Amino acid sequence: MDAFGLLVSEHRPRVVRTAYGIVGSLQEAEEVAQEVFVKAWQSLPDYNQVGAFSSWLYRITVNASIDRLRRRRDEASLDEFTQSGGTLPVASRGERELPEETVVREDIARIVREAIEELPPNARATLILREYEQLSYKEIAEALDIPIGTVMSRLNYARQVLRRRLIEGKHLDET
């Protein structure tokens, strides 16, 4: 396998996952990922090797995803899920999930996606890198080129918004 093939095969899942978390659509995430890999390939000489390669790639992914959000700002704001009324491609909790459990899980997923859509792009990116990619605060700070304190405040804000929406949807008790 050549170097480009290796780059794509090793990093595609994380790039698509992160892009999906930010743009909210798998099809668009695939398109963003293609932009990311082309850009990364062309910008490899600019990669200074000081930070982790994955942080550099996450930064390109987040920027490309936010660009995508900006481009569609004037378009319909509803994502493919709310338009189609379909189900999100999320992992089910198990083979023997009861129909009621499926309904609850899908409702929670819908609320979460809607709440994520409400977040400003920067907070959205921070939340996705933490919750989907499980990066440490330091890794997120490196990927987004922001101080760790900003990572903490953005995460706190994003989680508060999510928590409020889950309480409104009766999926979480108010404490």
Partner 1 sequence: MKHLEDWQIQCFLDGELDPGSRDRVQTHLQSCPRCQDSLQAVQATSWAIRSTKPSPESLRYGSELWQSLTQRLPRRRASTLSWFSLLPPFLLGLLGTSASLLISATHAAYALQRMGIMPPMGSTMVDRMAGVLASPVLEDTVYDRFGWSGDQVSQSLISFWGDVNQSTHHAVGFLACLFLLGVVLSSFVMLYMFWALCLMRADGGVLTGRAGRARFRDGKGG
Binder of partner 1 out of 71, 155, 168, 170 (CB under 8 A): 155
Longest dimension (CA), the chain: 54
124 binds partner 1 (CB under 8 A): no
52: left (phi over 0), alpha (psi -120 to 50) or beta: beta
146 binds partner 1 (CB under 8 A): no
32 binds partner 1 (CB under 8 A): no
CA dist., res. 106 & res. 109, Å (int): 5
CA dist., res. 115 & res. 16, Å (int): 20
Binder of partner 1 out of 22, 36, 54, 62 (CB under 8 A): 54
Binder of partner 1 out of 67, 103, 166, 170 (CB under 8 A): 166
Q: What is the DSSP string of 24-66?
A: --HHHHHHHHHHHHHHHHHHGGG--SSS-HHHHHHHHHHHHHH
Number of residues lying near partner 1 (CB under 8 A)? 66
CA dist., res. 127 & res. 137, Å (int): 11
154 binds partner 1 (CB under 8 A): no
Distance in Å, CB of 77 to partner 1, minimum: 18
The number of residues making up the chain comes to 175
Interface residues with partner 1 (CB under 8 A) are 2-8, 10-14, 16-17, 20-21, 26-27, 30, 33-34, 37-38, 41-42, 44-45, 47, 49-57, 88-91, 105, 108-109, 111-113, 116, 127, 130-132, 136-137, 152, 155-156, 159-160, 162-163, 166, 171-173, 175
